[in-house]
Structure 1
């Protein structure tokens, strides 16, 4: 399974990208378990709209697994969507 987490936004407008192949990464099983706990492929993407603050980064997590691909996006603002996806994102970033 290949997972990409990309961020953009914030004051500096810096884009970051992290890629993980769970088949080769030692953190692969933990990331796959975190992904399964989110019901990723059944989750709707974040609602459209702009963040209230220009300093709030937006993350997009894209998963390519067994011929299925899905993406979700959320604002890293400590809101409900951020709290749902942050544990998965933290595992991806630590891999």
Structure 2
């Protein structure tokens, strides 16, 4: 699986981008388990997600895409500290820690 996570906006327009191939990464299995554990693949696709619009200019927007040989799934969320996005913020933290 290939995981891509990109942020845009946020304070001073800082951008972050991470790419991990779970087949070649030492933490690959743990990242795949984190994706399954947070319900990533059952979450609505990016275009269907409500609440993904930032409320303010300093709130970062994240786009996480996972590609496998058979499929691709993308979610987006605002890093606003809300309870609804906690699982996605935790997933980004795991991706950052292993990038």
TM-score normalised by structure 1 residue count: 0.89
1:56 corresponding residue in structure 2: 59
Task: Give the drift of 1:48.
Answer: 5.7
Q: Where in structure 2 are the equivalents of 1:75-94 lying within 5 Å?
A: 75-94=78-97
Contact 2:7 2:63 (C-alpha < 8 Å) held by counterparts: yes
For structure 2, the residue ranges without an aligned partner over 5 or more in a row are none
Q: Structure 1's 65 and 55: CA in aligned 2 closer, same or farther, altered over 3 A?
A: same
Relative to its length, the structure with more helix (as a share) is 2
Q: Please tell me the root mean square deviation across aligned C-alpha atoms, in Å.
A: 1.5
Query: Is 1:35 the counterpart of 2:35 in the alignment?
Result: yes
Contact 1:2 1:21 (C-alpha < 8 Å) held by counterparts: yes
TM-score normalised by structure 2 residue count: 0.86
Query: Is 1:71 the counterpart of 2:56 in the alignment?
Result: no
Q: Structure 1's 26 and 6: CA in aligned 2 closer, same or farther, altered over 3 A?
A: same
Residues paired across the two proteins, number? 95
For structure 1, the residue ranges without an aligned partner over 5 or more in a row are none
